[in-house]
Amino acid sequence: MTTQEHGTEGFDAAPRAGGLDTRLQELVLDSRDVAAFLTDLAVIAAARLSTPSHPVHAGVTVIRHKRPQAVASSDAQARALDETQNGFGDGPCLTALHSRTTLLVPDLAIEHRWARYIKATMAQGVSSILAVPLDLAGEAEAVLNLYSGRSHGFSTEDIATAEAFAEQAAVSLRLVLRITQLGEARNDLSNALQSRTVIDMAIGAIMAENRCSRDAAFSILTKASSTRNIKLREVAASVIASISGEKQVDTYFDE
């Protein structure tokens, strides 16, 4: 699981500040990866819902197919709260994520669902929770987790603000995820091409050394891989290294 946290320094703390679309576009361009984007997203969400007398802590959880779960937080307390819920594997935020419905728990002291989680969360000073899912059009699942130290800490206006924020944030997050997927696909393809090249080089070397066919050379490689219980590419690299005298075999592709 990827986790990251950030302070609120460097962001406008005005709770209903304008220009959110522009700010989110800047985040897409400036963020180095998904975790960094989510962290900034959590910080902005906390700032927009907080007031000087009523701080709100925010976290964002994203679940992607066949990828590690990503959790980012506006501050250390939000991180601890999200980790508590993820540790139990159940709670209002995860329920909102899977049901894709906004969920408000106005007063934890009288909440009977998620008993163990609620008890642990109250021990961390939280009295109300607002969870708002982000619509990612099936590309992933995400939820904005908001925590208040007050009972009934989220008004009708707060809920509307959080839902509007989540709607705008979802568009930017979908773009970030798509960019990330393209980068991952590119890396996977590059790695596959490099592995294929090393294997082909090793097959050629074995054919020349043993004066055998390509199939026979490949069989030698696969048997060595099975016997030594290491990946075929690593066996191939060791063959090339033994012939060339180089400890590391590098292949290069124009990108």
Q: What is the mean pLDDT of the chain?
A: 81
pLDDT at residue 176 greater than cutoff 50: yes
Tokens of 148: 């208040």
Question: Given this model, what pLDDT does residue 49 score?
Answer: 95
CATH fold, domain 21-183, is Beta-Lactamase (3.30.450)
What's residue 46's pLDDT?
95
pLDDT at residue 193 is higher than 70: no
CATH of 188-244, one of 3.40.50.360, 1.10.10.10, 1.10.300.10, 3.30.990.10: 1.10.10.10
DSSP state of 86: H
Higher model confidence: residue 191 or residue 197? 197
Q: pLDDT at residue 161 above 90? A: yes
Please determine, for residue 2, whether its predicted confidence score (pLDDT) is greater than 70. Answer: no
Q: What is the pLDDT of residue 209?
A: 79
Q: Which residues, in sequence order, are bridge partners of residue 58? A: 146
pLDDT for the residue numbered 191? 58
Q: What is the pLDDT, as a whole number, of residue 56?
A: 96
Coil/strand/helix, residue 138: coil
Q: In 3D, which of 161, 183, 180 has the Cα closest to residue 172?
A: 180
pLDDT at 12 over 70: no
Least confident stretch, 54-63, 74-83, 123-132, 219-228? 219-228
Instruction: Give, in order, the Cα–Cα distances in Å from 73 to each of 77, 92, 216.
Output: 8, 17, 55
- pLDDT for the residue 10: 39
Closest among 20, 42, 32 to 171, alpha carbons compared: 20
Please state the rounded mean pLDDT for residues 3-15. Answer: 42
**Phi and psi of 104, rounded to 5°?**
-110, 130
Say if 21-183 and 188-244 have the same CATH topology.
no
Looking at per-residue pLDDT, the higher value among 179 and 77 belongs to 77
* Average pLDDT of the segment spanning 197-207: 83
Give ∠ CA 211-212-217 in degrees, rounded to 5. 120
Q: How far apart are CA 146 and CA 133, in angstroms?
A: 11
Q: What is the pLDDT of residues 95-104, one digit of tens each?
A: 999 999 999 9
* pLDDT value of position 203: 85
Give the whole-number percent of the chain exceeding pLDDT 90.
Answer: 42
**Per-residue pLDDT band at 68 (split at 50, 70, 90):** low
- Residue 177: the pLDDT is 79
Going by pLDDT thresholds of 50, 70 and 90, the confidence category of residue 70 is confident
| pLDDT band at residue 253 using 50, 70 and 90 as cut-offs | very low
Sequence spans of domains, the chain: 21-183, 188-244
β-pairing verdict for 70-73 and 2-5: parallel
